[in-house]
Amino acid sequence: MKILVYIETFEGTVRKSALELLSYANDLKTLKKGSITALAGPQINDETITCLARYGADKILVIKGADKSYSISSSKAETIRQAAIKEGSEIVLFTGSVAGKALAPVVAAKLKAGMVPGIYTLPKSLEPFTINKKVFSGKAIATVTVKTPVKVLILLPNSFAVKENPVPAVTGEFPPGIAEPATAMFPGIRILDTIRTNDQTRLTEAGVVVSGGRGLSGRENWRYVEELAGLLGGATACSRPAYDEGWCPHDGYVGQTGKVISPNVYFALGISGAVQHLAGISSSRLMVAINKDPDAPIFKSADYGIIGDIQEVMPRLIEAVKNFKSPPPVIK
Ligand SMILES: Cc1cc2nc3c(=O)[nH]c(=O)nc-3n(C[C@H](O)[C@H](O)[C@H](O)COP(=O)(O)OP(=O)(O)OC[C@H]3O[C@@H](n4cnc5c(N)ncnc54)[C@H](O)[C@@H]3O)c2cc1C
- SS3 of residue 210 by DSSP: strand
Q: Say how many Å lie between the CA of residue 269 and the centre of ligand 1.
A: 10
* Sign of CA pseudo-dihedral 121, 164, 61, 189: positive
Ligand 1 close to Cβ of residue 123 (< 6 A)? no
| Count of CB atoms situated within 10 Å of the CB of 54 | 15
| Ligand 1 neighbourhood includes 241 CB (under 6 angstroms) | yes
- The candidate with the shortest Cα–Cα distance to 5, out of 200, 170, 152, 202, is 152
287: CB partners within 8 A, 6+ apart:
265, 266, 267, 268, 281, 298, 301, 302, 303, 304
Ligand 1 centre to CA of 240 (Å) is 7
How much distance in Å is there from the Cα of 227 to the middle of ligand 1? 21
Give the model's pLDDT for residue 201. Answer: 61
Predicted pLDDT of residue 62: 92
β partners of residue 144: 131
Residue stretches of the chain with pLDDT short of 70: 67-72, 179-190, 196-201, 250-251, 325-332
Shortest-distance atom of ligand 1 to CA 243 = 11
- Could you list the beta-strand ranges (E) of 246-285: 265-269
Supply the pLDDT for residue 198.
Answer: 61
Phi–psi pair at 182, nearest 5 degrees: -65, -30
Q: Is residue 29 within 6 Å of ligand 1 at its C-beta?
A: no
CB 22 within 8 A of CB 94: no
Segments in the chain forming alpha helices (H): 16-31, 46-54, 73-87, 98-111, 222-232, 240-244, 275-278, 298-301, 310-325
206 HSE (CA, 13 A, CB side): 24
Distance between Cα 205 and ligand 1 center (Å): 23
Mutate to test the pocket of ligand 1, among 221, 240, 282, 290 (most ligand atoms within 8 A of CB): 240
CA nearest ligand 1 atom 19, residue: 274
Determine the 3-state secondary structure of 225 from DSSP.
helix
Please state whether beta strands 265-269 and 114-119 pair in parallel, antiparallel, or not at all (unpaired): unpaired
Q: Which residue is closest in CA terms to ligand 1's atom 29?
A: 272
User: Of all protein residues, whose CA lies closest to atom 53 belonging to ligand 1?
Assistant: 276
From the CA of 270, how far away is ligand 1's center (Å)? 8
pLDDT (0 to 100) of residue 262: 86
Q: How far apart are CA 285 and CA 86, in angstroms?
A: 40
**Three-class SS state of 42:** coil
For residue 204, what pLDDT is reported? 80
The pLDDT value recorded for residue 264 is 92
The angle, 0 to 180 degrees and rounded to 10, between the axes of the packed helices 16-31 and 46-54 is: 30
pTM surpassing 0.85?
Answer: no
Give residue 35's pLDDT.
96
For residue 187, the model assigns a pLDDT of 62
What ligand 1 atom has the least distance to the C-alpha of 217?
Answer: 38
The helix/strand count (H/E) of the chain reads as: 9, 16
